[in-house]
Amino acid sequence: MQQWVSMPSLKTASSDVPAGIVVFLVALPLCLGIALASGAPLFSGIIAGIIGGIVVTIFSGSELSVSGPAAGLASIVAAAITAVGDYPVFLMAVVLAGGIQLAIALMRAGTLGNFIPHCVIKGMLAAIGITIVLKQIPHAVGYASQFLDEDVFLHGAPWLHVLAHPLEALNASVVQPGAIAITLVCLGILIAWELPPIRGTRWSGILPGALVAVVAGTLMNLAFRAFAPEWALTAERQHLVAIPVLDSIAAAGSLITLPDFGAITRPDVWTIAFTIAAIASIETVLCVEATDKMDPQRRIADVNRELRAQGIGNLSSGLVGGLPITAVIVRSSANVYSGAKTRTSAFVHGLLLLLAVLLIPLLLNEIPLACLAAVLLMVGYKLSSIKLIRSVWREGFAQFVPFIVTVAVIVATDILVGVGTGLLVSVFFLMRAYHRSAMTLAHEGSNYLLRLNKDMSFVHKSKLKETLRRVPDNSFLIVDGIKALYIDHDIYETLKDFEVAAKHRGITMEYHHYFGKEGTARGRLSPASA
């Protein structure tokens, strides 16, 4: 049972509880926003966040990753709900996806994530950091609601117009001076918390900068409302957190939707289930790998156990009306950089989501999104800092190119496409290095030594041919295969063909340790003599 369940501990509560509060504040609007983008009931995002925080954490294989509804699944969920035509039918697909993830974990297929190069993981983190910054700028400057669409913001005229004409944008009320002021003050607090005079104090560990920033920003907005209404951020313009307000605790039951179990026989439901399970599993593995890299203690999570936890989480979420769940990098990053030590912080964030919607929705709805934007801007900066880029650059061209390609493709498309592209580029450089270092040719006078430096396969055939062409006529050539435990048949045929040419060019060939034997031949090679 110990391998399945790990209950949160209070040993590091002084660090984990404040970090959990920060993650809760970050997760709250994300849960609602992802539900909105998915075309699902808003409360379904909250349910997924609660399940991800409480249920998944208990079964998780990672100490610092945080689970919940993921933006990467929003488009898939939206298309799936439209395709099946009924949300309870879609929930059945979520339940099945959880079961499929459990099967993947039991087959221990999660270790496939270990084959992703570190440069690609670093590129993913940097790209996510850049994406976080871009997506939070509208909230940071208080964009009017009609400009909050991401595509319009990133690629349309409002974005370019505000950059080119900031004063005009202010005058036109496209952005809010109050939001900018709150963002700047919150950023100032967050930066100050990183400075040695404050970071070295005992109370800075108890009160994380993100929490102080959120409280300060909320109080600023209340002051604006009382003394400068034109600067105040309002819910009407979608500048404040917005969660459902329940009349009673019992009313929460009315927001829960049960799956349609009769849909289990529908082929389209199973197709959606496999799609969700595959993408959610990949995103989870990537997030866990990235979180391990950010962990100050460099702990290595059990990925198969994490997938098992995600399967249980999706089963639970689907049964009570929630969205699909994955480990999510934004919340995990905020968790790490807020000083979390163990899984207790993720559990606290889930518990707070539950208590918040039940007890204090009106209070939470006073928090400006600009506060949360400031927190996420700092997270984004830390993920994509110049220091990181420089460190990868110093690792060499073969590391930097996959890194920068991963960053560019993720920012332009999505995580899975970017990671896949970066992986292909990494494989190209790997094959290039493997190809180049496979053999060396040295000579002294007319005596030549061709050393096979590693196992030889068909991918080395062109390199071998190129190298053999460099051996001049009337010379003596030794082929040394002592380091090659395996020699592919294509390599054998290439050397055999060269022997025929060597006979006519006056080249004497001698084989050392070729297939474990030694021999001399003029224009002749056979497995027996080799």
132 & 227 share domain: yes
Token digits for 283?
A: 């995103």
Residue 205: predicted pLDDT: 60
Q: Which H or E run includes 29?
A: helix 13-38
331 & 441 share domain: no
182 & 247 share domain: yes
Would you say residue 373 lies in a domain?
yes
pLDDT of 287 above 70: yes
Would you say residue 470 lies in a domain?
yes
pLDDT of 158 above 80: no
Q: Which residues of 438-455 are buried (b: 16+ CB within 10 A; e: fewer)?
A: bbeeeeeeeebbbbbeeb
Would you say residue 499 lies in a domain?
yes
Would you say residue 399 lies in a domain?
no
- Domain closes at, from 322, 357, 390: 390
CATH, residue 452: 3.30.750.24
Cα separation of 347 and 51, whole Å?
A: 10
243-270: average pLDDT: 83
- Provide the domain limits for residue 300: 13-142+177-390
224 & 306 share domain: yes
Residue 88: predicted pLDDT: 95
Using CB atoms within 10 Å of the CB of residue 159, give its burial: 0 to 12 exposed, 13 to 18 middle, 19+ buried.
middle
Task: Name the DSSP class of 175.
Answer: S
275 & 381 share domain: yes
Average pLDDT, the chain: 83
376 & 453 share domain: no
pLDDT, one tens digit per residue, over 30-72 is 888 788 778 888 789 999 999 999 999 999 989 999 999 987 7
Whether the CB-CB separation of 367 and 25 falls below 8 Å is answered with yes
383 & 248 share domain: yes
Would you say residue 529 lies in a domain?
no
pTM equals 0.70
Whether the CB-CB separation of 233 and 366 falls below 8 Å is answered with no
Report which of residues 237 and 324 the model is more confident about.
324
Q: Per-residue DSSP letters for 205-267? A: HHS-HHHHHHHHHHHHHHHHHHH-GGG---TTTT-B---PPPSSGGGGGGG-----GGGGG-H
Would you say residue 359 lies in a domain?
yes
353 & 460 share domain: no
- Domain closes at, from 326, 356, 390: 390
Report which of residues 252 and 324 the model is more confident about.
324
Q: Give the pLDDT band (50/70/90) at residue 172.
A: low
122 & 239 share domain: yes
CA dihedral 389, 384, 386, 134 (to 10 degrees): 130
pLDDT of 308 above 70: yes
- Domain closes at, from 390, 405, 427: 390
Strands 508-514 and 517-521: antiparallel
Q: Per-residue DSSP letters for 272-309? A: HHHHHHHHHHHHHHHHHHHHHHH-TT-----HHHHHHH
447 & 308 share domain: no
199 & 286 share domain: yes
How much of the chain exceeds pLDDT 70, in percent? 87
Task: Name the DSSP class of 10.
Answer: S
Residue 522: predicted pLDDT: 38
Would you say residue 281 lies in a domain?
yes
Whether the CB-CB separation of 336 and 20 falls below 8 Å is answered with no
Cα separation of 409 and 282, whole Å?
A: 17
Counted domains in the chain: 2
317 & 442 share domain: no
Would you say residue 396 lies in a domain?
no
Cα separation of 30 and 17, whole Å?
A: 20
Phi, psi (degrees; rounded to nearest 5) at 12: -115, 30
Residue 10: predicted pLDDT: 82
166-190: average pLDDT: 79
